């Protein structure tokens, strides 16, 4: 056997077609072209990949991820197996992230195949479409929100630049935002009288001290920093990951850590506890949303052009695989979502254990994402066609 895998066999899972795992299954393979084109049937399974710690570490592919993904396309580059990326990360529009991933991984990826932590913010456009909102985090948080349809969005960088001395530590910071401040242009909105109606933490905040300070100002004054105490406007987080695997050897503090810091401080300086909503894995609705997208994903696409073929017989997907590195986020989420999700835990990121995770054991533990894809393809091709 090429890799060491651990299957979780308990309760109803024991009846899974995968529970009688044997090494011989990894030796028989039918080409994808036979699986999907001879009978014009769409596969009955789909795959959701976490990114950080599974596909990439920083910007570097890990676990043979480019090769693993190529196995989901045929020789001509046509997508055969419905898959998407389901990440709590973000900071750039899905269209841009799809391009980045296509370049890094060497396969064509559609924007609809990228579900980021902030993707559910689209559903809040109706509530705040024409209201002043603040977006913060690394990357291009305001651009993300503008592309979703929010019409009056300011990045935290721009918003903070409208207030003199709102961040007393700014003069001591190595890289002042000189591209935003003192550029001679007048503010786009009168932030001294127009209240911020909501704040969105789109991606991992960069300047924690400034962001916590200004968020506390916004939240305790009802959206008018420097003014009297007011009703707290809504606060949304794209995710709540305490830690995640980046390029550094050990885990880095994530958006959940920032939330704890903000909440702890806010609750010490304000009479009412902080109210907020967090999105992202492990919430079941994230998996339901991914299931809907996978079911709608056109089975054939080439060079980012969807090919409509009336001869294709599309079935609802009856099995969905979540491949992740974080038991608390990816595995817990897939298990909470229940059928048709099957969880696969890799050892390339947050989780490094020899056996399964104790608190949130995955249905399958493998070393790398390539091992996971090999396993899935072998099982599915056998179960469908043999």
Per DSSP, the three-state class of 14 is helix
The CB-of-106 to Mg ion minimum distance in angstroms stands at 21
Q: Which of 50, 140, 157, 378 binds Mg ion (CB under 5 A)?
A: 50
Strands 301-302 and 305-306: antiparallel
Neighbours of 183 (CB within 10 A): 9
Piece in contact with Mg ion (CB under 5 A), picked from 29-37, 48-56, 97-105, 185-193:
48-56
Strands 6-7 and 364-366: antiparallel
The CB-of-369 to Mg ion minimum distance in angstroms stands at 11
User: Backbone phi, then psi, for 89, in 5-degree steps?
Assistant: -80, -175
Please state, in angstroms and as integers, the Cα–Cα distance from residue 71 to each residue in 16, 74, 77, 376, following that order. Answer: 24, 7, 10, 11
The CB-of-145 to Mg ion minimum distance in angstroms stands at 24
The CB-of-241 to Mg ion minimum distance in angstroms stands at 8
Residue 325 engages Mg ion in binding (rule: CB under 5 A): yes
Piece in contact with Mg ion (CB under 5 A), picked from 3-11, 171-179, 323-331, 355-363:
323-331
Residue 204 engages Mg ion in binding (rule: CB under 5 A): no
Residue 280 engages Mg ion in binding (rule: CB under 5 A): no
Q: How far apart are CA 300 and CA 310, in angstroms?
A: 11
Residue 52 engages Mg ion in binding (rule: CB under 5 A): yes
Range list of β-strands (E), the chain: 6-7, 45-49, 56-57, 60-61, 83-86, 114-115, 132-136, 152-155, 198-201, 235-237, 243-244, 252-253, 277-278, 301-302, 305-306, 319-324, 341-346, 364-366
Nearer to Mg ion by C-beta: 57 or 177? 57
Nearer to Mg ion by C-beta: 148 or 360? 360
Piece in contact with Mg ion (CB under 5 A), picked from 94-102, 129-137, 258-266, 317-325:
317-325
Residue 46 engages Mg ion in binding (rule: CB under 5 A): no
Q: For 102-142, what is the HEC assignment?
A: HHHHCCCCCHHHEECCCHHHHHHHHHHCCCEEEEECCCCHH
Residue 241 engages Mg ion in binding (rule: CB under 5 A): no
Residue 53 engages Mg ion in binding (rule: CB under 5 A): yes
Piece in contact with Mg ion (CB under 5 A), picked from 27-35, 46-54, 148-156, 370-378:
46-54
The CB-of-306 to Mg ion minimum distance in angstroms stands at 28
Residues forming the site for Mg ion (CB under 5 A): 50, 52-53, 325-326
């Amino acid at each position: 056997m090429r890799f060491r895998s651990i299957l979780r066999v308990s309760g109803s899972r024991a009846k899974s077609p995968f529970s009688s795992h044997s090494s011989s299954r990894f030796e028989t393979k039918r080409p994808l072209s036979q699986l999907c084109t001879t009978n014009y049937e769409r596969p009955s399974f789909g795959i959701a990949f976490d990114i950080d710690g599974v596909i990439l570490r920083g910007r570097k592919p890990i676990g043979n991820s480019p090769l693993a993904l190529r196995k989901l396309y045929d020789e001509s580059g046509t997508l055969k197996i419905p898959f998407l990326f389901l990440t709590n990360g973000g900071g750039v529009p899905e269209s841009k992230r799809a391009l980045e991933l296509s370049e890094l991984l060497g396969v064509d990826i559609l924007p609809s195949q990228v579900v980021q932590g902030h993707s559910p913010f689209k559903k809040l456009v109706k509530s705040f479409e024409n209201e002043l909102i603040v977006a913060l985090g690394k990357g291009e948080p305001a651009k993300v929100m503008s592309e979703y349809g929010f019409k009056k969005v300011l990045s935290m960088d721009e918003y903070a630049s409208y207030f003199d001395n709102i961040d007393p530590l700014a003069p001591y910071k190595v890289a002042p935002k000189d591209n935003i401040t003192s550029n001679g242009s007048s503010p786009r909105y009168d932030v001294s009288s127009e209240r911020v109606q909501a704040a969105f933490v789109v991606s991992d905040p960069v300047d924690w001290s400034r962001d916590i300070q200004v968020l506390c100002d916004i939240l305790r004054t009802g959206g008018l920093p420097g003014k009297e105490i007011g009703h707290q406007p809504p606060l949304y987080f794209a995710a709540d990951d305490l830690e995640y695997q980046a390029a550094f050897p050990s885990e880095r503090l994530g958006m959940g850590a920032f939330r704890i810091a903000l909440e702890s401080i806010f609750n010490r300086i304000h009479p009412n506890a902080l109210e907020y909503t967090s999105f992202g894995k492990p919430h079941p609705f994230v998996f339901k949303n991914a299931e809907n997208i996978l079911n709608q994903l056109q089975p054939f696409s080439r060079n980012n052009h969807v090919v409509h073929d009336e001869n294709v017989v599309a079935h609802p997907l009856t099995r969905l695989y979540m491949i992740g590195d974080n038991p608390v986020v990816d595995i817990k989420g897939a298990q909470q979502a229940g059928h048709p999700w099957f969880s696969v835990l890799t050892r390339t990121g947050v989780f490094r254990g020899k056996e399964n995770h104790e608190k949130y054991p995955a249905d399958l533990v493998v070393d790398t994402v390539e091992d996971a894809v090999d396993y899935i393809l072998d099982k599915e091709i056998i179960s469908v066609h043999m």
